[in-house]
A = this chain, B = another copy of it.
Amino acid sequence: MVAALAQVSRVAVSRAFNPHASLKADKRERILRVARELNYTPDRAARALVSGRTHLIGVIVPDVYSYWESQEIDALTTALQNEGFATLLFKTRTDYSMDEQLLAYMRGFNPDSVIAFVENVKPVTLTRFLDRAVPIYVDYPMAGAPAEPEHGPLYDRLNILQHSGIDQAVALLQGYGARRIAYLSGHGKSRASAAREATLRQVLEERGFQPPILAPGDFGYETAYQATIDLFRVRGGADGVFAANDVSAFGALDALRHELGLRVPGDVKVVGFDDIAQSHWKSYNLTTVKFDLHERVRALVRLILRRLNDPQAESLVETLDTRLVVRGTVG
């Protein structure tokens, strides 16, 4: 700033960096040129102090390295970068417990918006720790779920509808003659997993199946591997396994093929959920339910921008659908 003073007044510099401010074109140009030479960029901290906008978007995740989250963070960071924001990462405990300490900590950075992927953070808790930002909550509503309470805390949502994809998957399993369907669940507290299970249960009933056999997992490879062995060795097995996510499906596949000596899809059919990048790797080549990553990120960015544009707006909701990607583990 001081440096640029050599040429013009300090406010002129501020205006030069703000496209809306009125400033003679040649003057702006001159200032920007000098700024580039001097390697000057307006300090966002100072800017934040007066404008109330930090251009920081908090993202709360339990595990960055989960394939699902990491792909989401990657795409989101790119998209936010293009809009002039930066991704500020926060990690919860692996037990999904969103402690108040973390939220208080995050508060200090004063993010413009917060996206919570972690599934057990209640909107009310998040809202309590954010005076300015309106959190975005990724949710998996169920068909017959109750409507929103009239005057809860303000938050925006990205609703993921799972019925279409799961119905397509079950139809396919049915087409290939599967009768006994198992559900390899995710983490016990996970809303995503609970919603998937409920939707699966509903779809199975609609199509005349018995309810799913439940195998407890935690979204991870190892647990899925063990749960599958238990399911087949002790509990009579199944001819179709629906996993709560792709990584669980990999664990199930490896257990079936390498430990139990069963053929997939010959003896058992397997369906995953997410369509992460390695689902098409040859060793797995997984049939899975997908919701498009880039659509999802676009929806999140839309929510953020709309909210910043009108902080007082009513709850904003974006809705996304799912569909089945057919590969080699059902057939």
Chain A: residues with CB nearer than 8 A to chain B?
39, 41-46, 48-49, 54-56, 63-65, 67, 70-71, 73-74, 77-78, 81, 86-91, 102, 104-110, 128-129, 131, 221, 225, 250-251, 253-255, 257-259, 277-278, 281-284
With A64-B70, A77-B90, A221-B281 known, 15 other A-B pairs at CB within 8 A are A39-B128, A41-B105, A43-B108, A44-B109, A45-B45, A45-B49, A45-B54, A65-B73, A67-B67, A86-B88, A86-B89, A89-B89, A254-B281, A258-B282, A283-B284
Complex CA–CA separation, A131 to B91 (angstroms)? 29
- One complex includes copies of this chain to the number of 2
Pair B64/A221 contact, Cβ less than 8 Å = no
Complex CA–CA separation, A257 to B257 (angstroms)? 15
Complex CA–CA separation, A284 to B278 (angstroms)? 13
Complex CA–CA separation, A277 to B66 (angstroms)? 10
**Which residues of the partner chain B approach A283 to less than 8 Å between Cβ atoms?**
250, 253-254, 257-258, 283-284
**Which residues of the partner chain B approach A259 to less than 8 Å between Cβ atoms?**
282
Pair B277/A65 contact, Cβ less than 8 Å = yes
Q: Smallest Cβ distance from A198 to chain B, in angstroms?
A: 29
Q: Smallest Cβ distance from A102 to chain B, in angstroms?
A: 8
A40 nearest in chain B by CB position? B107
Complex CA–CA separation, A48 to B284 (angstroms)? 49
**Which residues of the partner chain B approach A56 to less than 8 Å between Cβ atoms?**
88, 109
Pair B89/A45 contact, Cβ less than 8 Å = no
Q: List 21 A-B contacts (CB under 8 A).
A: A39-B107, A39-B131, A41-B105, A45-B46, A55-B109, A63-B74, A64-B73, A65-B67, A65-B70, A65-B74, A78-B91, A86-B89, A86-B90, A86-B106, A87-B88, A87-B89, A250-B283, A254-B283, A255-B282, A258-B282, A278-B278
Complex CA–CA separation, A44 to B254 (angstroms)? 48
Pair A250/B64 contact, Cβ less than 8 Å = no
**Which residues of the partner chain B approach A282 to less than 8 Å between Cβ atoms?**
225, 254-255, 258-259
